[in-house]
Copies of this chain bind each other. A is one copy, B any other.
């Protein structure tokens, strides 16, 4: 079937001459997108659930200060008479007290030592407390969005290896789950991308899905060495290290699995450029049986390999 031999991956073969890698090690794509209309709010949401917690909390603090500085200015503009209980003598003192009143309104703590009087200040306070509640609904949504976003933390071996495997040769890399939660029904997809020169002398980039010895595992609580056997049907058959480099080969990896904690499917991506592929090496074992008969895995050694004699 045609789609087995030449899978497009959404990349036209005209995009072939790219000299940088298509997919970064962290799974992001090396693509520049032009003509996108504008920075939509969605990207904002995506951004806010992706940043680290310290950054998220810092942004909330900054927004909190900004909102209160603004509402403090509004109350100051309305004037001293709008806030019963205020006792500052200078304008800066009054502004500062208005800011503190604003924080009490925005968070709905409402001590009442300072309280709005008159239509203008009461209207401003009514709007501010509503704004506070909506911002808080927003923050709650974001916090839960951050919580409920399942992210697989898969460790990929730094190098992929090409080495004798059973009776033939195999292309292989090793993966393990960094987290303590379980991944189930994990499957791998490996695609070889390389530049080829066609009959007309035109150099285009082609994509070949690589058959795997085992495309999926039911459980994934230890490490998994994903193997593509280089038999006669493999596009890697007879390819030397030099040819691999010359063709700017890149191996695109997609791992899918079902996350036990979130009950959702998770994905992770990475790639190996030809310079990250080593010939004639195999992975060192990282699983052993402890003295108490229990299975042990040492994730520190997942990248370790050794020369095949």
Is A232 an interface position by the 8 A CB rule? no
**Which of these, B30, B109, B214, B254, contacts A108 with CB under 8 Å?**
B109
Interface locus among A121-129, A235-243, A272-280: A121-129
Is there contact, CB below 8 Å, between A143 and B141?
yes
Q: Is the interface of A mostly helix, strand, loop or mixed?
A: mixed
Closest-CB distance, A88 to chain B (whole angstroms)? 11
Chain B residues in 8 Å Cβ range of A300: 34-35
Closest-CB distance, A288 to chain B (whole angstroms)? 7
Closest-CB distance, A19 to chain B (whole angstroms)? 3
Is A91 an interface position by the 8 A CB rule? no
Taking A10-B186, A61-B130 as contacts, is the C-beta distance between A294 and B109 under 8 angstroms?
no
Q: 8 Å CB contacts to B: which residues of A239-278?
A: 252, 254, 258, 260-267, 269
Interface string of A98-119 (1 = CB under 8 A from B): 0010011101111111011101
Interface locus among A37-45, A73-81, A156-164: A37-45
Chain B residues in 8 Å Cβ range of A142: 147
Is there contact, CB below 8 Å, between B107 and A108?
yes
Is there contact, CB below 8 Å, between B296 and A14?
no
Closest-CB distance, A94 to chain B (whole angstroms)? 13
Chain B residues in 8 Å Cβ range of A305: none
Chain B residues in 8 Å Cβ range of A137: 136, 139-140, 143
CA gap between A22 and B287 in the complex, in Å: 13
Is there contact, CB below 8 Å, between A217 and B14?
no
Chain B residues in 8 Å Cβ range of A181: 42, 46
Closest-CB distance, A299 to chain B (whole angstroms)? 4
Q: Of all chain B residues, which has the CB nearest A299?
A: B35
Is there contact, CB below 8 Å, between A218 and B12?
no
CA gap between A299 and B35 in the complex, in Å: 5
Chain B residues in 8 Å Cβ range of A215: 3
Closest-CB distance, A263 to chain B (whole angstroms)? 5
Chain B residues in 8 Å Cβ range of A66: none
Selected A-B contacts with CB under 8 Å, 29 pairs: A3-B213, A9-B219, A10-B186, A10-B221, A11-B219, A11-B221, A11-B287, A12-B225, A18-B289, A20-B294, A22-B295, A29-B182, A30-B295, A32-B296, A34-B296, A36-B178, A36-B180, A104-B126, A104-B129, A107-B129, A107-B130, A109-B110, A134-B139, A141-B147, A149-B262, A150-B263, A189-B218, A258-B267, A264-B264
